[in-house]
């Protein structure tokens, strides 16, 4: 009887030992499973981090023209990556107001993620980093203005404008800017006095109509009052039509009016009654009458003065480098080279004869 009780006691102890071993194994399995899941989760999020970095790199490439190349640090709002369809969130979702900072170090780009990210399946925070690096804080100059197009408009006709050429009519500059922050562009501004004062541009197009030769500074401002870098544009616009006049001089540089008889050649000089800001070219024409411009033929070009040695009607054409021109009023030259000899009766002080001899 005692032997059976002893065997029964051993069986219970053995059973308890088995349960204990199974419990230890279960704990080990659970812990191992947790570690494996955590490792898999970390690996999965590391892959997502790399996806974020790839998206940020694509963002920079997409907007490289409007991002200043000289910046050492650029802040990219996380929500910009999702709005641009550069990043697809599946297992993880990050705070839209987070920032991806890109540091440019020599030839290498370093990425810092200032984000709070959660697992969408259990809503647990898997990554969190707050703040914003001081050297990459939102500040003026972290984005640039882009000139989309430059057009010269004359009588409603548009053509491309080259800043090296003189223009007339209107110059139209279409502008764009993209702030690396999540603030939209509020307005564009321009300055004609090298940045001392700025005027607001209506919309995204700067239209110039007044005469100007020189530099214009253009910048953008977002709704957070962050300013872009200033872009310098050099333009030359002249809408002044020249009004030429002719001045004549005879012997000893004596002024001569149109239609006045002279005995020698006449020097005609072209000048202006107004002041275009672009250079002016003078071309000389000989005309058959004083009314019809089409009766005139060019006799000399690109000179302010023209020497006339025979009778005729002359006009000067003034043309600005911007292409505006007009003709002067006609100037009639009368040259009489006939020499007169007058003999006087000295005793009676009376005219005796008048003869002329061709010189």
Q: What residues does CATH 2.60.40.10 cover in the chain?
A: 163-237, 244-339
Contacts of 288 (CB under 8 A, 6+ apart): 295, 296, 313
CATH architecture of 163-237: Sandwich (2.60)
CA atoms 178, 182, 185, 190: torsion sign: negative
Residue 195 confidence (pLDDT) above 80: yes
Higher-pLDDT residue of 251 and 196 is 196
Q: Which residue do the tokens 């996806």 mark?
A: 51
User: Residue 307 and residue 334: Cα distance in Å, rounded?
Assistant: 13
Residue 49 confidence (pLDDT) above 70: yes
Q: Phi-psi region for residue 201, left (φ > 0), alpha (ψ -120 to 50) or beta?
A: beta
Residue 357 confidence (pLDDT) above 50: no
Across 134-162, average pLDDT: 80
- Please indicate, yes or no, whether the overall pTM of this predicted structure exceeds 0.85: no
DSSP annotation of 330? P
The CATH number for 244-339, chosen from 3.90.180.10, 2.60.120.20, 2.60.40.10, 1.20.1280.260, is 2.60.40.10
* Mean of the per-residue pLDDT values of the chain: 82
Q: Answer yes or no: are the C-beta atoms of 197 and 111 closer than 8 Å.
A: no
Higher-pLDDT residue of 84 and 173 is 173
Distances (CA, A) of 83 to 6, 89, 157: 76, 11, 38
Q: Give the whole-number percent of the chain exceeding pLDDT 90.
A: 42
């Amino acid at each position: 009887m005692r032997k059976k009780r002893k065997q029964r006691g051993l069986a219970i102890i053995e059973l308890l030992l088995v349960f204990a071993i199974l419990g230890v194994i279960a704990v080990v399995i659970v812990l191992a499973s947790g570690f494996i899941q955590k490792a898999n989760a970390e690996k999965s999020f590391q892959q997502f981090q790399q996806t974020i970095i790839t998206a940020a790199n694509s963002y920079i490439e997409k907007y490289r023209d409007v991002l200043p190349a000289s910046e050492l640090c650029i802040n990219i709002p996380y929500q910009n990556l999702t709005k641009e369809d550069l990043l697809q969130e599946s297992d993880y979702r990050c705070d839209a107001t987070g920032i991806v900072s890109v540091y440019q170090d020599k030839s290498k780009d370093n990425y810092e993620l200032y984000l709070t990210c959660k697992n969408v399946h259990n809503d647990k925070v898997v990554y969190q980093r707050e703040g914003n690096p001081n050297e990459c804080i939102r500040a003026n100059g972290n984005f640039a203005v882009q000139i989309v197009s430059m057009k010269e408009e004359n009588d409603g006709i548009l053509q491309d404008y080259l800043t090296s050429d003189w223009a007339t009519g209107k110059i139209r500059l279409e502008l764009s800017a993209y702030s690396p922050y999540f603030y939209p562009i509020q307005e564009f501004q321009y300055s004609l006095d090298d940045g001392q004062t700025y005027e607001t541009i209506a919309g995204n197009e700067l239209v110039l109509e007044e005469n100007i030769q020189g530099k214009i500074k253009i910048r953008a401002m977002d709704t957070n009052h962050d300013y872009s870098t200033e872009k310098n544009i050099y333009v030359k616009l002249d809408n002044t039509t020249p009004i030429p006049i002719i001045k004549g001089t005879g012997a000893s540089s004596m002024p001569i009016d149109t239609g006045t008889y002279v005995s020698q050649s006449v020097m005609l000089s072209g000048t202006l009654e107004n002041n275009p800001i672009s250079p002016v070219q003078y071309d000389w024409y000989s005309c058959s009458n004083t009314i019809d411009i089409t009766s005139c033929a060019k006799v000399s070009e690109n000179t302010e003065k023209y020497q006339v040695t025979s009778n005729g009607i002359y006009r000067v054409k003034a043309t600005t480098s911007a292409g505006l021109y007009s003709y002067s009023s006609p100037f009639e030259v009368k040259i009489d080279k006939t020499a007169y000899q007058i003999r006087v009766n000295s005793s009676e002080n009376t005219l005796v004869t008048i003869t002329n001899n061709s010189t």
